[in-house]
Amino acid sequence: MPQSDLKALLSVAHHAVDAAVDYVLSQPVTGIRSKGGREIVTDIDEAVEHLVRDRLLRDTPDLGFLGEETGATGDSATYWVLDPVDGTTNFSHGLPLNAVALGLIHDEQPVLGVIALPFLGRRYWAARGHGAYRDHTQITVSETTDISRALVALSSYGGWADFPVRDLLSAELDRVLSARAQGVRRLGATAVDLVFVAEGALDVSVTLGNRPWDTAAGTVIAREAGAVVVDSDGSPHTLRSKCTVAVTPGLRDAVLPLLAVARHTPYWPAAAD
């Protein structure tokens, strides 16, 4: 995709996220329902998705759209992907660690991402080849090289039918990483984890699973900030990856061997087994 197109689409994305943030900050939660397991959705998630989807389909009618709540429509080669509120459980409890995450995928690769943290007043963004930014300041990953000084984020425990396997693997990863890292955190929002790696507040983020609305925008931002973004076996991260691992380069060789505990689970690429 030409850089000129990315620049124009980045402006479209910022305006769409502006509208989403305004809505999140101005509207109270009036409805919460279960999606199954521990997963919930609020009326704000659904309203924001409709708001952003309709705006993007108006402004970029030739592009497709994939939303967590409403699914896919339009072009499947180049499309927007949205998580209207990543960290919905946090959001429903009034915990400010949540995000509006909007990405653009072209030929199966994320090429643009805008992530806003409405209640923290932060905006992270990147386009492929243009670097990563928090608001108007360029950001880079940490220079940590010693895992004993690393702060690591892990994804939440299982939320759907993956309860048994994911819960056991999550506990094992917690045990393995806690024994070596300076600290392990579960922040409850993948997009937040990824932008915190991008700006160096975290050194590593390990997400079991790879739902594009959670990961597309954040992987672009993390990569453009200098992070290594891979699957659990260290292969390059793609839309088909089983996990999303973002790590500052100096910790890659220390962290990836620890993820071998995921081997022989659904969170390990079949071709690597």
Q: What is the pLDDT of residues 58-90, one digit of tens each?
A: 999 999 999 999 999 999 999 999 999 999 999
* Mean predicted confidence (pLDDT) in 8-20: 97
- 3-state DSSP assignment of residue 119: helix
Helix, strand, coil percentages for the chain (3-state, nearest 5): 40, 25, 35
Read off the pLDDT of residues 104-130 as tens digits, 9 standing for 90 and up: 999 999 999 999 999 999 999 999 999
Report the topology of domain 147-272: D-Maltodextrin-Binding Protein; domain 2 (3.40.190)
Output the pLDDT for position 36. Answer: 73
Is 39 annotated to bind a ligand? Reply is no
DSSP three-state, residue 222? helix
- The residue extents of the domains of the chain are 3-136, 147-272
Spatial distance between the Cα atoms of 227 and 140, rounded to a whole number of angstroms: 8
Please give the Cα distance from 73 to 138 (Å, whole number): 33
Q: Is 86 annotated as a binding residue?
A: yes
Task: Check the annotation: does 5 bind a ligand.
Answer: no
The answer to whether the predicted template modeling score (pTM) of the entire model surpasses 0.85 is yes
**Residue 83 among known ligand-binding residues:** yes
CATH class, domain 3-136, is: alpha beta
